[in-house]
Every structure is written in C-alpha cells, then in structure tokens.
Amino acid sequence: LVKPKTKAVTITADGRIYLDTAVVTIEELEARLRQFKAADPELPVVVKGDASIQYFRVIEVLDVMKRLQINQLGLVTQRIVK
C-alpha cells in the first residue's frame, strides 16, 4: 500500500505561490495539480500561508482546488520565517 504524496501549496507574504518548493503562477499551479490529480484522484493538498498574506491570494488558490475537485484539503496559517 503506497501512502499518497501530499502536495504543499505555500503563499508567501509578498504573494508568491509555491507548489512544494517551486514558484508557480496560479495557472501553472492549476495545470500541475491537474496532472497530479489525474495520477491520484484522492490527491491530498495542504495550503500554507503567511499570516499577513492578502486574502484574495488564498481565495484564488482555493478556487483552483474547487475546480479540480480536490477534496482532501488542509489549511495552515503561520508566519513564514524568511
């Protein structure tokens, strides 16, 4: 039994979006997550954000999750150390 690989989406205070460790645009995020979801329909994703991020960036990311029907979703709020 293979444990699913959780994908981490991080939104930094300056609005950059990372998928795992790679900086991505919102369009690239959607395309890459679509590929991962095709390989694993139960793809788990954790969205992490600095406490000072702009709310609209979180909504953009959550909209991607909704469009891709990613249901295993966790949200983490923390101040990211720079």
Residue 82 has pLDDT above 70, yes or no: no
Q: Which residue has the tokens 């679509």?
A: 34
Average confidence (pLDDT) over 18-32: 97
pLDDT digits (tens, 9 = 90+) for 29-71: 999 999 999 999 999 999 998 878 778 888 999 999 999 999 9
Model pLDDT, residue 54: 77
Model pLDDT, residue 2: 57
Residue 1 has pLDDT above 60, yes or no: no
Q: Which residue has the tokens 């983490």?
A: 76
Q: Return phi, psi of residue 26, to 5°.
A: -65, -35
Using alpha carbons, list the distances in angstroms from residue 69 to 16, 37, 41.
23, 9, 9
Task: Specify the pTM.
Answer: 0.85
